[in-house]
């Protein structure tokens, strides 16, 4: 029985001419306005943060990431494949014999001696049943009908970074099922090492594998105060309020702007309106 999955990032889109993933995405985005001459390596993080903050995430589709997951159950893969914009290559139970299958052990079962005994008894019976059906001449595709959801199912998953952001938003929450939350949390940790700005607004707890949004790490009063301070600086310099997006290299400004954008309280919405048109 398995208690820990093995998650690997086995591929990710990179610019052939060198540079970071964020620079690759910026180069694609600037095609829209033919503004490539404005690119600079130091400015890419601010540029990508602006794209994410404004919700222009179609740009993120120009980079894809591929993961291989071992030690995940069929229950996990049945949930994962519901994300239809991802691509999957999964271990076949028709062409691969499951005579010696590995099973994923849920923590709740492992922590309960009586439940563990029931679980182990079931695994033993299904192994025997599968082997007996094979002895009777049945093919894998028919013998597999006795297999439980606990059976390990290796899978390779690819998707663009926009879709992965969606996956992490819905699967790395307290409400998500524990196994898919853990595996997606591991994916987020791995891909963030290669695209730290793209996934920089996810705050991941590696014990629970729950990812909060950056906006949740600041209170309304603090966020509004910081945004208003930056707006005052712009006004004094004779700059329009939407130039606040040029301050996104500052982690605190990024966090504060995300908060006032996502918060539903009246004062935060008013503060967001003061920031002008971001289009």
Catalytic positions: 171
E strand or H helix at 131: helix 113-135
Please provide the size of the chain in residues: 279
CB neighbour burial string for 52-71, b if at least 16 within 10 angstroms, e if fewer: bbeeebebbebbbbbbebeb
For the CA atoms of 212, 214, 215, 219, the dihedral, rounded to the nearest 10 degrees, stands at: 90
Contacts with 10 (C-beta within 8 Å, 6 or more apart), sequence order: 66, 67, 68, 156
For the CA atoms of 41, 262, 168, 194, the dihedral, rounded to the nearest 10 degrees, stands at: 10
Interior CA angle at 237 toward 265 and 229, to 5°?
Answer: 30
DSSP-derived secondary structure letter, 63: -
Tokens 């990024």 belong to: 254
């Amino acid at each position: 029985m398995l208690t820990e999955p093995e998650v690997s990032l086995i591929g990710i889109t990179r610019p052939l001419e060198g540079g970071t993933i964020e620079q690759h995405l910026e180069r694609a985005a600037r095609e829209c306005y033919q503004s490539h001459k404005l690119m600079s390596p130091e400015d890419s993080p601010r540029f990508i943060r602006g794209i994410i903050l404004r919700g222009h995430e179609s740009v993120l589709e120009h980079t894809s990431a591929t993961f291989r997951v071992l030690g995940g159950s069929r229950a996990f893969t049945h949930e994962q494949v519901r994300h239809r914009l991802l691509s999957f290559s999964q271990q076949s139970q028709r062409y691969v014999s499951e005579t010696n299958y590995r099973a994923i052990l849920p923590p709740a079962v492992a922590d309960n001696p009586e439940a563990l005994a029931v679980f182990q008894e079931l695994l033993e019976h299904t192994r025997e049943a599968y082997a007996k059906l094979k002895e009777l001449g049945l093919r894998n595709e028919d013998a597999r009908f006795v297999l439980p959801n606990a059976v390990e199912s290796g899978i390779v998953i690819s998707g663009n970074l926009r879709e992965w952001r969606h996956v992490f938003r819905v699967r790395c929450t307290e409400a998500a099922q524990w196994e898919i939350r853990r595996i997606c949390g591991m994916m987020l940790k791995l891909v963030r090492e290669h695209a730290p700005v793209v996934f920089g607004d996810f705050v991941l707890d590696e014990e629970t594998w729950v990812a909060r949004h950056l906006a949740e790490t600041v209170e309304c009063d603090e966020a509004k105060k910081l945004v208003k301070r930056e707006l005052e600086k712009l006004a004094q310099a004779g700059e329009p309020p939407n130039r606040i997006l040029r301050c996104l290299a500052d982690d605190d400004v990024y966090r504060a702007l995300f908060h006032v954008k996502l918060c539903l309280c009246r004062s935060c919405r008013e503060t967001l309106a003061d920031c002008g048109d971001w289009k």
